[in-house]
Amino acid sequence: MQPSEAALPADLKTLSREDPLHLLLNAVTDYAIYMLDSTGKVASWNAGAERFKGYSSHEIIGRHFSAFYTAEDRGSGLPATALRTAETEGKFEAEGWRVRKDGTRFWAHVVIDPIRSRDGELLGYAKITRDLSERRLAQQRLDETREALFQSQKMEAIGQLTGGVAHDFNNLLTVVMGSLELVQKRLREDPLSARLVENAMQAAQRGATLTQRMLAFARRQDLKPEVIDIPSLVLGMNDLLNHSLGANILLNAHFPTTIGPVRVDPNQLEMAMLNLAVNARDAMPNGGSVTITAHEEMLGDHDKLGLKEGRYALLSIADDGVGMDSATLVRALEPFFTTKGVGKGTGLGLSMVHGVVEQSGGRLFLESRVGEGTTASLFFPIQRPQRRRPGDPWTKVPFHPRRGRRRLGAAQYRGDA
């Protein structure tokens, strides 16, 4: 529907349906091409505008074009600024969010040109809008892929450097510890010297533990993988986790009745879980809760984690602690990076977890928000996929540290009780 002659200024006469220009504008469906009067009210409307803005001509003609702007942009006066810029500078061009009739948003490229009479009087504006939502989404995905590739390459480079240093340092420590053991045997009758040697031995052992974590991050550690059941492994760590977390942390476990086995070094996985649990504890100085969950998940060929297509066991440890901002989260897996105070952390805990999971064919994925907590998700390929039967109950088994170290039976853990 076209506007009436009375709805337009004298120099903006409505194009007749037989006019070639009108036919041309209405044939364009990828662009919204329409006119505004000098106050910013819509004076004409083409098929492209109706297609992606959702208004028919009789619904929008006569209304102010600010209806297409978000509430934030209207509050900042952007529509008036756009018209003023077009009038004074001869053109307004920008990209930003616009609003459809149904309230949804789309990313638009907008051009506004002034329309003047022969004597220079402002009669209105010609406005062209293009929906760039799909292009913007594609660009975002491309940027995310590039960032993931960059992070992967950076971590690989750090891993190679760390692995080389750790390997050489580990060889040196082996010599040091061997020599200290020999000295210990010769100093049994000298308590003072024996105590000094024992201190040196403890320091060397801590250094050896440090290098093992570095080698784990670099994926150069020798693993002894076994096919294990994740819920059973977590069950066996009940006392250890309760003791590590302390009495002011409530530990919960949520598992389905069946989950496929994974192939991983159980000792290293226990160490990884303990590291994650301790990190969760440190993020909740005033107490809170830690929730351990596990379930099966099917990943596609183009999953953002970069894993092969297939079925995976997802083991997650979540806390409701202080969380991390985006800048900290990006660096969280880097070796020696820590937010803890001097002497309270080596910065290798998450690096070690990353190395163990990657060496087992899986992936570590971190999610965190400031004030909302952190979730560490460990993906492991399932050896023999088992599907959960429809109707099978889920187990929600709370640990109660304040009520004593109660060991739960495997049947309770698996939802068979």
Q: Which residues have a Cβ under 8 Å from the Cβ of 372 and sit 6 or more positions away?
A: 320, 323
Tokens of 248: 């002011």
CATH 3.30.565.10 fits 226-413, yes or no: yes
CA–CA separation, 79 and 209 (whole Å): 63
Q: What is the pLDDT of residues 108-120, one digit of tens each?
A: 999 999 999 988 8
pLDDT in tens, 342-392: 445 545 567 778 878 888 888 888 999 998 999 999 999 998 645 555 554
- Structural domain boundaries in the chain: 5-131, 137-217, 226-413
Which pLDDT does position 100 carry in this prediction? 92
User: Quick one: DSSP state of residue 307?
Assistant: P
Q: pTM score > 0.85 for this model?
A: no
Spell out the CATH class of 5-131.
Answer: alpha beta
Query: Exposed, middle or buried, 281 (CB in 10 Å: 0-12/13-18/19+)?
Result: buried
Between 313 and 212, the higher pLDDT residue: 313
- Secondary structure (3-state) at 41: strand
pLDDT of residue 29: 73
Average pLDDT over residues 243-267: 86
Query: Lowest-pLDDT range, 40-44, 212-216, 397-401?
Result: 397-401
Beta bridge partners of 93: 111
Higher pLDDT, 67 or 329: 67
Largest interatomic CA distance in the chain = 114
DSSP lists the bridge partners of residue 311 as 298
Neighbours of 105 (CB within 10 A): 12
- pLDDT of res. 74: 92
Distance (Å) of CA 28 to CA 115, 250, 382: 20, 62, 53
Give the pLDDT band (50/70/90) at residue 339.
Answer: low
Q: What is the pLDDT of residues 78-121, one digit of tens each?
A: 999 999 999 999 999 999 999 999 999 999 999 999 999 988 89
Query: Closest by alpha carbon to 353, among 217, 250, 162, 203?
Result: 217
Please report the pLDDT score of residue 279 as a whole number: 87
The pLDDT > 70 percentage for the chain reads 72
Question: Where are the strands (E) in 235-347, listed by range?
Answer: 249-256, 262-264, 288-299, 310-319
β-pairing verdict for 262-264 and 226-228: antiparallel
Q: How far apart are CA 180 and CA 313, in angstroms?
A: 44
Tell me if 382 sits within 8 A of 360, measured CB to CB.
no
Nearest alpha carbon to residue 313 among 362, 268, 252, 270: 362
CB count within 10 Å of CB 214 equals: 28
Q: Where are the beta strands (DSSP E) in 257-372?
A: 262-264, 288-299, 310-319, 363-369
Element (H, E) at 31: strand 31-37
